[in-house]
Structure 1
Amino acid sequence: MPNTIISTDFKFPGQKNVYHGKVREVYTLENNLLLMVATDRLSAFDVVMPKGIPYKGQILNQIATKMMLDTEDLVPNWLIATPDPNVAIGEACEPFKVEMVIRGYMSGHAAREYKAGKRMLCGVAMPDGMKENDKFPKPIITPATKAEMGDHDEDISREDILKRGIVSEEDYLQLEDYTRKLFQRGSEIASERGLILVDTKYEFGKTNPETSGGKIVLIDEIHTPDSSRYFYAEGYETRQNNNEPQKQLSKEFVRQWLIQNDFQGLEGQKVPFMSDEYIETVSERYIELYENITGEKFVKADVSNIHERIEKNVLKYFK
């Protein structure tokens, strides 16, 4: 098994503090900069799995970088540089405490709620007579409150967000506008690759009002297999008509494996054992995801000493 990066403890020049998220480690630096390390940790049902997935961090970081460059004409983002395959450096922002989830199709969490008889999700109506993986008449935005590590994100309606003062109405309308524009562009990019962007989530922050005017920017990842669900376009209609499962490109395959092994992140449940062979198949699926989503061949970075490589590349960038 190749080496993986599970945790970090860097001491970068001008470092002020570090935050350990579910998958990313975020270093706050001087001069209003953030440095984000994408680890190989795998999170499912808001639980971090005990083993890392080889090259996963590199894959997520490189997809997110490419997608930010492909959408920066529509929505400003935080990104300044990517000095290492696992590292992104950008402008420090105050994150909004909501994730903007947008769904073009009735899949995943929406389908599970629908099967349970619910026809409202985050205050948005879902039409009667739909079956799993059907396309919504138009994409729906179903926000979630951002959880701290280990806690579950929670569905929330636009009305509750405004009523609780989590986001101002002016800012929230901008978030919705940006979310729809990004999803439209993401869907177009996916279509060019023979894929369907089924659903995804975006995270936004506000830049420093004094140095950068307090503008809303896209942060974190975008259109990656961890934040998005993709179907293969070829055969979609046939599979729907025959009531067959869709061929997916997302980490849903990991969730399904966990469900089959009696784990959904519920209290008292134990994460099932993941063999090296299974971990290897997950890594191969992530590489397949990368190549299909970007249309480019994946080039494996040197993982003989990932920590040393990252430190060297970051120090070289700052010099």
Structure 2
Amino acid sequence: MSASSVLTVSDDLPLVTARPVHSGKVRSVYFLRPEDSRRLIEERGYAVAPHSDLAIMVISDRLSAFDCLWRSHNYHGVPAKGAALNAIAAHWFSTFDAQGLTPHHLLEMPHPMVWIVRQARPVMIEAIARRYITGSLWRAYARGERLVGGVRLSDGLEQFQRLPELLFTPSTKGVIRNVPGVPETDDAPLAPAVLREHHKAFALHDEGQLDACVSALHSGFEVIEDSLAARGDLLVDTKFEFGIAPSRSGGEELIYMDEVGTPDSSRIWRRDDWEAGHPREHSKEQFRDALLSWVDDRELLLDSRRMEERAIYARNHAVPDEFFLDLSNTYVAQAENILGASLPVIDRPRDAMLDLLNEQFGLVR
């Protein structure tokens, strides 16, 4: 795939917006003006509250791992990554709709790298669900920790073992300040009791909204897990993000936000590999594993106290091209397996997106 098909800068589109663009690790969010939101809700027939505020989300091919952006010698992004992730998440959102699960923010995907979404007040929790003992959970267990997500794990568990129940292990989304028992850092582990007691600090009005998050986490995980199992894959762990948005009935409702069930936010194994006792990663974890084997100092990537040093290292070191190309193959294979169709080949995505957003949506300045 040519370098011209890789989109690494996604926050420079000349769109009419209500406030500055938010550029995250992978996606950029363009917040639409109220008048454009109202117009599109009417023109496109979106099934949302008529006073909802909308946004354009543009996914990039950037690769973030260990909280840093990485590049290879010839690629500054992973070819086809953005289109694959968008397609997979859109598929799961559609499946959630069909099964009557909690609503979500995705309204339309007019281009493989563009979403039209409704804005919501983010719940400041990374809602992580774990089905197998691996990764950071296994490292903590091997150190002797037994209380995880409010559940006490028994002694004698082995690495890669399926857990007796789905674990909810929340962490902070952003820095939460002045809450007893919560470190003032992003991605800090949250004790369920602390989360419940201080739910308002995480943008939850009441404990009922927290219960709704936990319920949506379980139901979403099970839908994705069952579908992947039919293809011979295991959903090992994943994360969900939630928001509170206006409902059509006049109140508020909990919705899924961000992405769901992608190999960027989930661990996925082949069942036959796991049954043989040697699971291999078919997700972004394969890049993490390759990176850990490639660097001279593994602790640089694992020690959160060395974040500044790690960021400098990532800026100054290009990884081998095969790391990016192997990951690209994984993303594309997962997308095509889940969708049952080929991904479109996208050349010069920025130009195509601008043409579409101008001609069909009237949002280009």
Name 1:159's counterpart in structure 2.
193
Candidates 26, 48, 63, aligned match of 2:88:
63
Equivalent residue in structure 1 for 2:328, among 260, 266, 283: 283
Greater shift in the superposed pair: 62-71 or 294-303: 294-303
Q: Is the 8 A contact 1:85 1:301 kept in 2?
A: no
Deviation, 1:211, is 8.4
Q: 1:189 to 1:317 in 2, by over 3 A?
A: farther
Output the CA distance in 2 between the equivalents of 1:274 and 1:90. 34
Q: Is the 8 A contact 2:17 2:30 kept in 1?
A: no
Counterpart in the other structure of 1:213:
251
1:194 is matched with 232
- Give the structure 1 partner of residue 3 of structure 2: 2
2:260 paired residue number: 222
Q: Deviations over 1:231-273 (max 9, x none)?
A: 111242232xxxxx30222111111112112351641232342
Paired AA for residue 109 in structure 2: T
| Amino acid paired to 1:131 | E
Output the CA distance in 1 between the equivalents of 2:102 and 2:286.
31
Check conservation: 2:70, 2:318, Cα contact below 8 A: no
Which has a greater percent of helix? 2
**Is 2:139 aligned against 1:116?**
no
Q: Is the 2:335–2:343 contact (alpha carbons within 8 Å) kept by the matching residues of 1?
A: no
1:130 paired residue among 134, 143, 157 = 157
**What is the CA–CA distance in structure 2 between the aligned matches of 1:317 and 1:77, rounded to whole Å?**
23
> 1:143 is matched with which residue: 159, 167, 170?
170
Q: Where do 1:25-104 residues align within 5 Å? A: 25-30=28-33, 31=37, 32-50=53-71, 51-72=76-97, 73-104=100-131
**Residue 279 of structure 1: CA displacement?**
2.2
Do 2:172 and 2:186's aligned partners in 1 also have CA atoms closer than 8 Å? no
| Mapped partners of 2:135, 2:331: distance in 1 | 19
Partner of 2:351: 308
3-state SS of the aligned residue for 2:19? strand
2:22 to 19, 23, 31: 19
Deviations 1:8-30 (A, max 9, x none): 21122344331011111011112
1:259-318 Cα distance to aligned partner (Å, 9 max, x none):
1123516412323421334322221222122233x1524323322x22111111222331
> What SS class does the counterpart of residue 3 from structure 2 fall into?
coil
Distance 1:67 1:316, change over 3 A: farther
- C-alpha change, 1:250 and 1:7, in structure 2 (3 Å) is same
With 45-54 and 277-286 compared, the bigger mean Cα shift is at 277-286
Tell me the distance in 1 between the aligned counterparts of 2:123 and 2:26: 18
Residues 81/307 of structure 1: CA separation in 2 closer, same or farther (3 Å cut) = same
Contact in 1 for aligned 2:59/2:86 (Cα 8 Å): yes
- Whole-angstrom distance in 2 between the partners of 1:288 and 1:234: 17
State percent identity of aligned pairs. Answer: 28
Cα deviation for residue 45 of structure 1 reads: 1.3
Match among 175, 179, 187 for residue 213 of structure 2: 175
| Alignment partner, residue 342 of structure 2 | 298
Contact 1:202 1:222 in 2 (8 A): yes
Partner of 1:257: 290
Residue 272 of structure 2 is aligned to residue 234 of structure 1: yes
Residue 25 of structure 1 contacts residue 37 of structure 1 at CA under 8 Å; is this kept in 2? yes
1:205-238 CA deviation, whole Å, 9 max, x = no partner?
Answer: 0113798521111111000001111111124223
Matched-pair contact (CA < 8 Å) for 1:34–1:92: yes
The 3 A distance-change label for structure 1 pair 54 and 265 is: farther
Residues 217, 264 of structure 1: alpha-carbon distance in 2 compared, 3 angstrom cutoff: same
Task: Decide which structure has the larger Cα Rg and report it.
Answer: 2
* C-alpha contact 1:200 1:227 (8 A) present in aligned 2: yes
Query: What amino acid maps onto 1:53 in structure 2?
Result: V
Aligned Cα root-mean-square deviation (Å) = 2.0
Letter of the 2:325 partner, please give it.
E
User: What is the TM-score with the length of structure 2 in the denominator?
Assistant: 0.80
In the alignment, structure 2 segments of 5+ residues that lack a partner are 38-52, 176-184
Change (3 A) 1:19 1:156: same
Shift of 1:124: 2.9
State the AA in 1 paired with 2:8: I
Cα distance in structure 2, aligned partners of 1:173 and 1:34? 27
Equivalent pair of 2:134/2:159 in contact (CA under 8 Å): yes
Structure 1 212/127 Cα, relative in aligned 2: closer, same or farther at 3 Å?
A: farther
